[in-house]
Amino acid sequence: MLDPLPTGRWPVVVVGAGPAGALAALGLARQGVPVLLVERRRFPRWKVCGACLSGQALAALEQAGLAPLLDQLGARPLRSVQLGLQGARAELALPAGRVLSRLALDQGLVAAAVAAGATLVPETMAELGPADPGARPVQLRRGKELATVQAELVLVAAGLAHRCLRQLPEVATHIQTGSRIGAGCLLPAPNHGPHDPALAAYGDGRLHMAIGRHGYVGLVRLEDGALNVAAAFDGAALAAAGGPAAAASQVLSEAGFDPLPALAPAAWQLTPALTRRSSPLAGHRYLLLGDAAGYVEPFTGEGMGWALMAALSSTPLALAALDNGWDDQLARDWSRSQAALMARRQRLCQALALVLRRPWSSCVVFDAVRRWPSLAPLPTPCP
């Protein structure tokens, strides 16, 4: 039985309890700020993601004092990535990286935020209302139950499809033409169900990345032995294949990976178009962070790192807004700093995504990586 929806005035409302929202809520709760953390879905929940924590994501978690949490949750080391293209393979060692299911990571971060004093409002849709000089109203909806809270500041960490902003006409999301669609599923651990040699071939500590003409598929073994599958496909190829399982099988076959019959019956989830950018990144009494601010194709596996870093940098700004009162300069500062960071980080991802879309350039880069693995500019290649 869930608690009734909250009402009244709250210093901070965080919309979305993914890595960005949960870590932002944790940072503020630790400073004694009453925070409402509103999440649409029932936790724990799986979501489409490669589940690889890059060096940057690990550094952000360490900065927040959460390195022991990763050990408690059973995060596994990620030692290498095996790239497959047109039947050839290249193996790259990864200097830093861990694998943890999003089910465990997100639940662990939310539990830490709640333990620090944040109030979780689960299974509830939040939507920002029109600006009010003294507060930002946030409408909450759970089934037929409705409530409105007044927030001094709203942190919007609602992921790619942030419909919570639809009453704010000034916020626009630009989706890049031809942007790929994300897809993913979980395949059972080898000790669940009949032995499947194709599944058992994917060992621990290595990300297997199949690169095809119209997308790529990454497979990695999780802490409970299940195989996490995450992919990005061209929309037209996804439709032509008849769905994500067939599109993934096609990519595996083009890359020279063995067929995986378990893909067909798996419960696949799709994402909205991936490469996008929101503008502005902040406004009167709200800041956008994580995927809500913008995202590029996930080949380099930096999304959680960006989301966690943004969460860390939102804490001092939120504290300044609460201590000194809201000033629109804060929104301008956030937009400027985040836009600059995002542009720098996304340049590499976008360049790689472009290279991988052209057969000739992906072959040239692939060949270079095979010959000189130390040249590989990949932070943590992940689907």
Q: Does 379 bind ligand FAD (CB under 6 A)?
A: no
Q: Quote the tokens at residue 371.
A: 């010959």
Out of 10, 12, 14, 16, name the contact with ligand FAD by CB under 6 A: 16
Q: Does 54 bind ligand FAD (CB under 6 A)?
A: yes
Out of 12, 14, 18, 78, name the contact with ligand FAD by CB under 6 A: 18
Contacting ligand FAD within 182-201 (CB under 6 A): 182, 184
Distance, CA of 198 to CA of 215 (rounded, Å) = 21
Strand partners, 233: 181, 215
Taking the complex as a whole, how short is the minimal distance between the CB of residue 60 and ligand FAD, in angstroms? Answer: 10
Taking the complex as a whole, how short is the minimal distance between the CB of residue 215 and ligand FAD, in angstroms? Answer: 10
Out of 12, 14, 19, 109, name the contact with ligand FAD by CB under 6 A: 19
Contacting ligand FAD within 26-45 (CB under 6 A): 38-41
Taking the CA of residue 163 as centre, how many other CA atoms within 13 Å lie in the half-sphere pointing to its CB? 5
Specify the residue, 90 or 219, whose C-beta has the smaller distance to ligand FAD: 219
Taking the complex as a whole, how short is the minimal distance between the CB of residue 184 and ligand FAD, in angstroms? Answer: 6
Q: Quote the tokens at residue 168.
A: 């704010």
Specify the residue, 137 or 298, whose C-beta has the smaller distance to ligand FAD: 298
Q: Does 212 bind ligand FAD (CB under 6 A)?
A: no
Specify the residue, 175 or 364, whose C-beta has the smaller distance to ligand FAD: 175
Contacting ligand FAD within 297-316 (CB under 6 A): 298, 301-305, 307
Positions touching ligand FAD (CB under 6 A) are 15-21, 38-41, 48-52, 54, 57, 125-126, 157-159, 162-164, 182, 184, 230-232, 271, 274, 290-292, 298, 301-305, 307, 382-383
